[in-house]
Amino acid sequence: MTLLAVERIKLFSTRSPYWCSALALALGVGITAIFAAASDGPIPLGLTQIGSGQLAIAVVLVMAALAVTTEYRFQTIRATFLAVPNRTSALVAKTVVVAFIAALLGEIVAFGSWGVAKLISPESDLAINTAAEWRHVAGIGLIYAFGAVMAVAIGILVRQSAGAIAILLVWQMLAENLIGIIPKAGVKIQAWLPFMNASHFLSMGSDSPEQGGQGVDFKLSEWGSFGYFAGIAVALLVVALVVAKRRDA
């Protein structure tokens, strides 16, 4: 518990968590508000998460990567490893803190977006009744949490803010979508890409804007896709911990 408290204090002693949280909230809620206000009629529940599931998560990935790369940049990671010789414990504690904050932020963004849409478009049927609907909204926090784990792992491996952020943003926002244009094999590959599976987990069907990888034949169920996404994040973290333990700080 002491390590978790220390990592929480270190994280919030910098400005990046505050700015990133504010930006994620603004993007998630703001984009939903724009779409709801511009709609001529009732909006579907899927539209309420159009910002939180696509753009706001990119900001969360940046926040998680900065949580570790900033320490490498200013060499405070050396003091951390001197105080806690077990590097694995220190880095796992950091990951847990960042993932928890990301999950909490994800739920705030998701339900904040849903609430704003309900306020702007009261005639819309935005009740959350089915398991798929709950997964679509409440599942945002789970994706943010394991996305943060993945970002921390990349940060540990790369150790440079610019490099880690570039990898994460290109991977999440560009690379996985571009793979789909590869003739024949593209959609087959997409079915096993992590962020595509994250979008599949959040999907409610063809009427949802969050239906990731349209035309992709996912081999896993929605919860199976989440487990796959979480497994890749944890596997990346394990690799990062092994590398961090073997090289100089």
Render pLDDT for 27-49 as a digit per residue (tens, 0 to 9): 999 999 999 999 888 899 989 99
Domain positions in the chain: 2-176
The pLDDT value given to residue 180: 86
The pLDDT, as a whole number, for residue 214 is: 58
Assigned token pair, 153: 């792992």
Query: Which pLDDT score is estimated for 1?
Result: 66
CA distance 78 to 98: 20
pLDDT of residue 249: 61
Tokens of 179: 């793979």
In the chain, what is the greatest distance between 2 CA atoms, to the nearest angstrom?
A: 60
What's the token pair of residue 185? 């094999």
Compute the distance between CA of residue 249 and CA of residue 105 in angstroms, rounded to an integer.
30
Mapped onto helix, strand or coil, the DSSP state of residue 198 is: helix
pLDDT digits (tens, 9 = 90+) for 203-228: 986 444 444 555 788 989 999 999 99
Q: Which two tokens stand for residue 117?
A: 């849409």
pLDDT tens, residue by residue, 105-120: 999 999 999 999 999 9
pLDDT, greater one: 23 or 212: 23
Dihedral sign, Cα of residue 220, residue 200, residue 234, residue 3: negative
Instruction: Give the pLDDT confidence of 58-95 residue by residue, as tens digits.
Output: 999 999 999 999 999 988 888 888 888 889 999 999 99
Residue type at position 17: P
